[in-house]
């Protein structure tokens, strides 16, 4: 998660960019840099380390020019050196980037074969060379940028400036957010409105797939389909600028939509993209020697643990026990000496989870935690902390923290499997590649939002809703049901598909919608049979699957939600998105408060 800024001003750009970068430093501070255009020439200053170093460099060697872009980096591809710091340049352009470009290796090979010489190890540099290649073919600046962006795969936000062009910044968004600010004869670009707050309170947000041609007095936006579109500028209140909902009505919506970006951040913290291996940092015990794993958590975090149980057992062949923290601490669980106890908590302050942690610490377990707030009590009392890097989660119902918890648990399962030699290098590469594709595929999955919003209007008046899935989708069915009841107050239950016939099927009639989560995997046929049992009893099925699965269901389902086809390992990430959206839009249709549902609290510090 890096921070990017762009300015076309009436005065010197670099001091303005520097101030804006300070507000984005929370996104990363491994290195920083600014590039400007002055007398047609691109020039830049880049430094390793925090922004202060960039301030010193600019004092020693000021950077003139009324147009520029800046970056504060959280390293993903390539070490945090000056050489890898943004902006990256080629002979014609300078680029700043936030996110991951998945196909950079292929593009780099292609460009090197065409005579381009690379100066860094980053994925970003391919953008500079690709735009240059299109300029050399005679394309206009904006056209060259758009053609280059169309070749990129992954989740990214970009700011691009050009040699010889002092009135143009191109901004592009595919996943991570990007805001444009309008000043008095000046324009700004930033990773969030907060960064632009000192300069302007008139802000618009780019949508996914947008490319913006930003000039000092006008902005032209072309959407993913190549159509010119208007994105409304709105006035941000001072408080809104501090904790910003972007162009969303609720924090929950914003947090659902920012998952591609934060998941990119999480995977970057745990995977080496060049080696395609998992990297956990220092772990103060031997994962290969752990006789048993116990995972405790509450609420949504517990369902992340439930997914992890499948991953650990399938990949690392280690016995995993999972428990709701409030139950675990009182049931006097037997744990072998030297076992690993993992605690999953967004806040790191949940009283039940903390009590379970202390119980395990007293009973000879190694204690690891997976938290969003690293300085929390659970974080502080753990032998090792694996941060989820989700950023602040404001909506009471957890969304992005859940998928980021999944990402860390997946990395931990792979590392444990490698340590125990239950997977080979090839399998690790496949799994890491699959995890790296999650930001892109969640972006694609978010495309169902409009369809789900329409469906939610029909669901809002129902009294009960059932969810079911098998294998890795069983916990997602439980999470989907929890999300819906938390914020829409509709009674919802999640079940394992095979368990329906042992009781829940008695609930089904024409009034009960049933959400079936069924990727086309080895359990698909079994899930289909369970679905037929529901349809035979009049149940209205909302069927969530990939293209192959949707082909099989024909017209039997009442509604069909398409999720991209993917490696089964990462299916829980993708199927989480539609169940979150369904809960959110149903709450909006009912008029309940999605961000602050009744009776709940974000962090429960009492037993």
Catalytic residue, candidates 139, 526, 560, 602: 602
Contacts (Cβ under 8 Å, ≥6 apart) of 595: 250, 251, 252, 394, 395, 396
| 308 lies in the binding site for ligand G6P (CB under 6 A) | no
Farthest CA pair distance, the chain: 77
Catalytic residue, candidates 2, 204, 360, 404: 2
- CB-nearest residue to ligand G6P: 299
CB of 199 to ligand G6P, least distance (A): 35
CB of 503 to ligand G6P, least distance (A): 26
Size of the site for ligand G6P (CB under 6 A): 16
Using the minimum distance from each CB to ligand G6P, give the nearer residue, 58 or 324: 324
| 355 lies in the binding site for ligand G6P (CB under 6 A) | no
Cα–Cα distance, 127 to 98 (Å, whole number) = 12
CB of 346 to ligand G6P, least distance (A): 3
| 592 lies in the binding site for ligand G6P (CB under 6 A) | no
Kindly identify the residues of this chain, within the stretch 104-123, that bind ligand G6P according to CB under 6 A: none
| 398 lies in the binding site for ligand G6P (CB under 6 A) | yes
CB of 251 to ligand G6P, least distance (A): 13
E strand or H helix at 358, and its extent?
helix 351-362
| 304 lies in the binding site for ligand G6P (CB under 6 A) | no
548 flagged as catalytic? no
Tell which residue, 354, 346, 344, has the closest CA to residue 320.
Answer: 344
| 353 lies in the binding site for ligand G6P (CB under 6 A) | yes
Among 58, 283, 351, 604, binds ligand G6P (CB under 6 A): 604
Q: Transcribe 539-604 into DSSP letters.
A: -EEEEEE-HHHHHHHTT-SSEEEE-----GGGHHHHHHHHHHHHHHHHHHHHT--SSS-TT--SS-
Tell which residue, 315, 296, 337, 303, has the closest CA to residue 412.
Answer: 315
Return the bridge partners of 282, or none. Answer: none
| 301 lies in the binding site for ligand G6P (CB under 6 A) | yes
Among 90, 201, 345, 545, binds ligand G6P (CB under 6 A): 345
Using the minimum distance from each CB to ligand G6P, give the nearer residue, 74 or 302: 302
The two three-digit tokens of residue 95, written as one number: 């680029």
Return the bridge partners of 122, or none. Answer: none
Segment contacting ligand G6P (CB under 6 A): 125-133, 283-291, 341-349, 444-452?
A: 341-349
Burial class (CB within 10 angstroms; exposed 0-12, middle 13-18, buried 19+) of 55: middle
Using the minimum distance from each CB to ligand G6P, give the nearer residue, 152 or 378: 378
| 410 lies in the binding site for ligand G6P (CB under 6 A) | no
Helices (H) and strands (E) in the chain, counts: 21, 27
Contacts (Cβ under 8 Å, ≥6 apart) of 286: 419
- CA distance readout (Å), 254 to 6, 350, 451, 597: 23, 24, 18, 16
Using the minimum distance from each CB to ligand G6P, give the nearer residue, 155 or 397: 397
Kindly identify the residues of this chain, within the stretch 378-397, that bind ligand G6P according to CB under 6 A: 396-397
Cβ–Cβ under 8 Å, residues 379 and 348: yes
| 347 lies in the binding site for ligand G6P (CB under 6 A) | yes
Kindly give the residue spans of alpha helices, DSSP state H, lying in 244-322.
251-257, 259-270, 299-311
Among 299, 471, 497, 513, binds ligand G6P (CB under 6 A): 299
CB of 342 to ligand G6P, least distance (A): 13
Among 10, 164, 600, 605, binds ligand G6P (CB under 6 A): 600
Segment contacting ligand G6P (CB under 6 A): 212-220, 345-353, 522-530, 551-559?
A: 345-353
2 flagged as catalytic? yes
Cα–Cα distance, 6 to 21 (Å, whole number) = 10
Among 111, 219, 293, 298, binds ligand G6P (CB under 6 A): 298
CB of 389 to ligand G6P, least distance (A): 15
Peptide bond into 87 cis (omega under 30): yes
Among 346, 365, 403, 488, binds ligand G6P (CB under 6 A): 346
The size of the chain, in residues, is 607
Among 84, 296, 300, 445, binds ligand G6P (CB under 6 A): 300
Cβ–Cβ under 8 Å, residues 141 and 168: yes
Q: What is the DSSP letter of 66?
A: S
Active site residues: 2, 602
* Interface positions with ligand G6P (CB under 6 A): 298-301, 345-347, 350, 353, 396-398, 600, 602-604
């Amino acid at each position: 998660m890096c921070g990017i800024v762009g300015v076309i001003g009436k005065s010197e750009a670099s001091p303005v960019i520097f101030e804006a970068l300070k507000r984005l430093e929370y996104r990363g501070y491994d290195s920083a840099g600014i590039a400007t255009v002055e007398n047609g020439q691109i020039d830049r200053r880049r430094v390793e380390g925090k922004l202060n170093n960039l301030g010193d460099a600019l004092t020693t060697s000021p950077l003139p020019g009324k147009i520029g872009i800046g970056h504060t980096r959280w390293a993903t591809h390539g070490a945090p050196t000056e050489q890898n710091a943004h902006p990256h340049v080629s002979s014609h352009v300078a680029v700043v980037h936030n996110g991951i470009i998945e196909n950079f290796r292929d593009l780099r090979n292609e460009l090197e074969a065409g005579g381009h010489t690379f100066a860094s190890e980053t994925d970003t540099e391919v953008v500079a060379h690709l735009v240059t290649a299109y300029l050399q073919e005679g394309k206009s600046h904006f056209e060259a940028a758009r053609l280059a962006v169309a070749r990129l795969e992954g989740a990214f936000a970009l700011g691009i400036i050009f040699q010889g062009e002092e009135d143009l910044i191109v901004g592009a968004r595919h996943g991570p957010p990007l805001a444009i600010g309008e000043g008095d004869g000046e324009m700004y670009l930033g990773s969030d409105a907060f960064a632009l707050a000192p300069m302007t309170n008139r802000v618009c947000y780019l949508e996914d797939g947008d490319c913006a041609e930003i000039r000092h007095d006008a902005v032209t936006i072309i959407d993913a389909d190549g159509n010119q579109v208007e994105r409304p500028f709105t006035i941000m209140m001072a408080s809104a600028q501090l904790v910003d909902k972007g162009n969303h009505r609720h924090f929950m919506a914003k947090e659902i939509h920012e998952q591609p970006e934060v998941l990119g951040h999480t995977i970057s913290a745990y995977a080496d993209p060049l080696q395609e291996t998992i990297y956990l940092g220092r772990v103060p015990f031997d994962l290969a020697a752990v006789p048993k794993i116990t995972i405790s958590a509450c609420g949504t975090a517990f369902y992340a643990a439930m997914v992890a149980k499948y991953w650990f057992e399938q990949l690392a062949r280690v016995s995993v026990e999972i428990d709701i923290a409030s139950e675990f601490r009182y049931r006097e669980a037997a744990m072998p000496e030297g076992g690993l106890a993992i605690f999953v908590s967004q806040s790191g302050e949940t009283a039940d989870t903390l009590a379970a942690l202390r119980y395990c610490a007293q009973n000879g377990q190694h204690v690891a935690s997976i938290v969003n707030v690293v300085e929390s009590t659970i974080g502080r009392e753990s032998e090792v902390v694996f941060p989820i890097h989700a950023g602040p989660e404001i909506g009471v119902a957890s969304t992005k923290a859940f998928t980021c918890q999944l990402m860390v648990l997946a990395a931990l399962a792979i590392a444990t499997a490698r340590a125990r030699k239950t997977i080979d290098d090839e399998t690790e590469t496949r799994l890491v590649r699959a995890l790296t594709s999650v930001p892109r595929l969640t972006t694609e999955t978010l495309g169902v939002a409009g369809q789900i919003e329409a469906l939610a209007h029909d669901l809002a008046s129902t009294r009960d809703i059932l969810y079911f899935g098998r294998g890795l989708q069983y916990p997602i069915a439980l999470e989907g049901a929890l999300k819906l009841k938390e914020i829409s107050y509709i009674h919802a239950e999640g079940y394992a598909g095979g368990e329906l016939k042992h009781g829940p099927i008695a609930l089904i009639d024409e009034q009960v919608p049933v959400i079936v989560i069924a990727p086309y995997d080895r359990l698909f046929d079994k899930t289909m049979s369970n679905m037929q049992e529901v349809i035979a009893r009049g149940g209205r099925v909302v069927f969530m699957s990939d293209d192959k699965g949707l082909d099989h269901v024909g017209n039997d389902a009442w509604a069909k939600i398409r999720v991209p086809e993917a490696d089964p390992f990462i299916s829980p990430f993708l199927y989480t998105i539609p169940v979150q959206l369904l809960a959110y839009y149903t709450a909006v249709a009912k008029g309940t408060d999605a961000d602050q549902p009744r009776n709940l609290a974000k962090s429960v510090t009492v037993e």
